[in-house]
Every structure is written in structure tokens, then in C-alpha cells.
Amino acid sequence: MTDLGRHPAAPPAPPARRVLLAGAAGNFVEWYEFGVYGCFATVLADLFFTPAPRTGPAGAGPLLAVYASFAVAFFLRPAGALLFGRLGDRIGRRPTLILVVGLMTLATTLIGLLPTRATAGAAAPWLLTLLRAVQGLSAGGEFGGAVALMTEQAPPGRRGRHGAWQSLTVALGLLAGAATAALLAWLLTPRALTSWGWRIPFLLALPLGLTALKLRRGLPETGAASRRTGEGGPGSRATARTVLLGIGRIMGWSAAGYTFLVVLPSYLQATLGATPREALTATALANLGFAATILPAGILSDRVGRRPVMLGGALAVTFLALPLLHLLQDPAMPAPAKAAAVCGAGAAVGLLAGPGPAMLAEMFPAQVRCTGLGLAYALANAVFSGCAGLVITALTAGTGSGDVPAHYAAGACALSALALAGLRGDDHRRALR
């Protein structure tokens, strides 16, 4: 009881702005890099997974190999969530968050320095996959620790707002990655972009990561949650059931987010014949719509509850994904209408992402919060985000249907809506356990 009474008032309390910056900085670096990887999937397929030089875009085989390495990184995230989540629950949030952002920055920078298949031969795709695996492992510990840090330090009635900043940095990271890729596509010739220009966004992760490290090194330790008494550890049945429920509640966020925000450029090029400039610009617009709704959705969820906001987002994707995709497929549709469609798709995902972190934090007691919410998030992303490019590309090639992305996102959001319907209406008003 002594720790329970002392922990919330432990002086000195770090300023809210400092906690937000430190908690969100590493997440920005992570999703910037993941966004860049998705934007350059076709380029990486040519350079790393195609045995012979090509004069045209990569075929389905190399592109599937790129997305397979993408999925490997995501499937290592649950292992990272379990490993670094336990560290965060045992030794504290601060040292764990410093470690994961350091690993993330190192792997990202090394991707930008990798020799291609033309130089390193068959070793090139394996080296790329290895670095993606390091990224996945370190990224798995990022979300749980940062969300626990930010929501535990949030003032009363502002957990949704504070948690939304974590999701906002996801959007800003993806937007920065897509915008950087689009800018390079406009500034450089296609030859220069595939020769050396693709390396620039990955190398930019080094100064970004060093900035995140500096912010986190200056953050006072907020305490190791596992020292408090309470519910069983991460291996308990109650925690396992809560993790599964959390996965159900955010699977739509994971699937729709990666369908509209990351897989979109490769889909538009490979299926609809869009130019790289058109595809990357559309992705930047989708991420802009996503970013614009996250913080308002988190703030609204502090007032009306997590359930109505997140349920609204899940139902919007369920019923609008196919009409939006048909609009993009219509060659007669004017460009402004298509721009509004991709912005709208991103905005619907933002309704899920804004309240999502606070909703997950409210599901777990303090001594397993890092591990529990991190594991739920990582597993949902491993299955429904990490496999999105692989599943969509394979099904589109196998069926010949251009509607696969819409069905994938809508189906996941329909199932997620069922799980979200069980949220209690007053969870946003209750104190964290």
C-alpha cells in the first residue's frame, strides 16, 4: 500500500509537455521508417529481391518478397513487446524506451547504407530482412512503454488526449515518410531515385533518432510499475484474455491503417497503373486526413467515451471502404474527388487511432500495463498490418479483383466493431488500475 499511495505523487513530476515529447519521439522515428519502406516497396523489390537487372517495375514475385520481409518484422514485434514490456514493467519506462529507440535508429540507418543485390548478390535481401527483424523486435517494445508513460502521467480526464498524441506521432511519422518519398519522386528523375535517392529517407532517421534519444535521456524515471501489488503477471489467464480482447478491438485500426496508409502506393501502381508521383501523392493525402482527425478524436473520447468514437470509425470503414475504392478506380472521376476520397479514408482510421491508446491502457492494471497493451498492439499489427501487403498483393494477383483492399479493411473493421461494442461507457472517467 505504501507504493500505491506514493507513486502518483512522487516528486518531481515531469512536465506534461516533456513527457509527451519524450514518449512520442521514438514512435515518430519508427513509423517514419515503416512508412518509407512501404512507399519504396517497388524500388526495394527491384534492387534487393530481383535476381537480374530490370528495365521496368518489379513483378508480383519480388514485390511479394518485399512484403514478406515486411511481415517478418511485424511478427517479431510481439516478441519485442513481451521482452521490452517486461523490462518496462520491472525496471521502469525510461531506460527501456531509450534502448528501443537506439536499436530502431541503428537498424533504420543501416538500411540506407545497405549494398543492393547488384553489389552483394544473394546476401542483399537477407541483410535487408535481418535489419527489418531488428526493427520489428525494437518496435515491439516502443508502443507499450510510451503509451504507459503518457497515459499514467496524464491529468484527470485527459488520457484520451495524451494517448492520442502517441497515435498522432504515428500519423506524422507515416506522413513524413510519404511526403519525403513524394518530394524525392518529384525532384529526382526515376533513374536517380532508384539509383541512390531511395537511401535519403532512411539515412534521415539518424538525426531524428538522436533527437529522440536526447529527449528520453532527460526524462525523469516515472517508476517501475511491477513493484506495485495487484493482479497477476503477463502469464495469467486474466491478462491473456484481456490481450485477446484488445486485439479484437484494434484489429480494424491495424488492417485499415496499413491498407490505406502504407500499401496504397504499391497497389495504385501495380493494379491501377498510377505513376509513382500520383501514388505517393495519394498516400500523402491519406496520411494527412489520418493525422487531422486523431487528436480531435482523442479529445472527444475524453468527453463522450471511447466506445462511440471508435465504433463510429470502425463502421465508417466497414460501409465506405468499397465505395471509396471504386471512386479511385473510376478514370472519369476528377482529381479533387479522388483526393477527398483518400483523405476521407485516412480520417476514418484516425477515429480509431485517436482513442485507441487510452482505451488499451485502461484495459490493463499497472503492473502489466507495458506488457499487456504492448503485446495486444503488436499482435494485432503482426497479423492485420504486417500481412496486409502480402495478403492484398497475393489475393489481387490470384483473383484479378481490384476490390481486395476494400474487402480486407472492411472485414477487419466489421469484426472490430463487434468487440468495441462491449466497451463500458464510463471507462474514460475511471482511474487507471
**What is the full DSSP assignment across 142-186?**
HHHHHHHHHHHTSPTT-HHHHHHHHHHHHHHHHHHHHHHHHHHHH
**How high is the pLDDT of residue 45?**
77
Between helix 41-48 and helix 123-152 the angle, nearest 10°, is: 150
427 in any annotated domain = no
Q: Report the distance separating Cα 377 and Cα 340, nearest Å.
A: 29
CA angle 293, 295, 299 (to 5 degrees): 115
2 in any annotated domain = no
Please list the pLDDT of the chain residue by residue as tens digits (433 residues).
444 444 444 444 455 677 777 777 777 887 787 677 777 777 877 788 776 544 444 455 666 666 666 667 777 888 888 888 888 778 777 788 888 888 888 988 998 898 988 888 888 888 888 888 888 888 788 888 788 878 877 777 888 888 898 888 877 887 788 788 888 888 888 888 888 888 998 898 899 888 888 888 776 665 454 444 444 555 578 888 999 999 999 999 989 988 887 777 666 766 666 676 777 777 778 888 888 999 999 999 999 999 999 999 999 999 988 888 788 777 777 777 878 888 888 899 999 999 999 999 889 888 888 888 888 998 898 788 777 777 777 887 788 777 888 889 999 999 999 999 988 877 777 767 7
161, 302 Cβ separation under 8 angstroms: yes
Cα dihedral 50→52→56→60 (10° resolution): -30
Please tell me the total count of domains within the chain: 1
Q: Report the distance separating Cα 173 and Cα 180, nearest Å.
A: 10
82 in any annotated domain = yes
**How high is the pLDDT of residue 212?**
83
Owning domain of residue 412? 9-226+234-420
174 in any annotated domain = yes
> What's 115's domain CATH number?
1.20.1250.20
**How high is the pLDDT of residue 229?**
42
425 in any annotated domain = no
**How high is the pLDDT of residue 79?**
87
Phi, psi of 168 (to 5 degrees): -65, -35
**How high is the pLDDT of residue 272?**
67
**How high is the pLDDT of residue 247?**
94
431 in any annotated domain = no
CA angle 205, 159, 81 (to 5 degrees): 50
382 in any annotated domain = yes
Continuous H helices in 40-59: 41-48
**How high is the pLDDT of residue 227?**
45
204 in any annotated domain = yes
Cβ-based neighbours of 108, under 8 Å, separated by 6 or more: 29, 33, 135, 202, 205, 206, 209
**How high is the pLDDT of residue 61?**
62
pTM as predicted:
0.76
**How high is the pLDDT of residue 85?**
83
CA angle 17, 163, 289 (to 5 degrees): 100
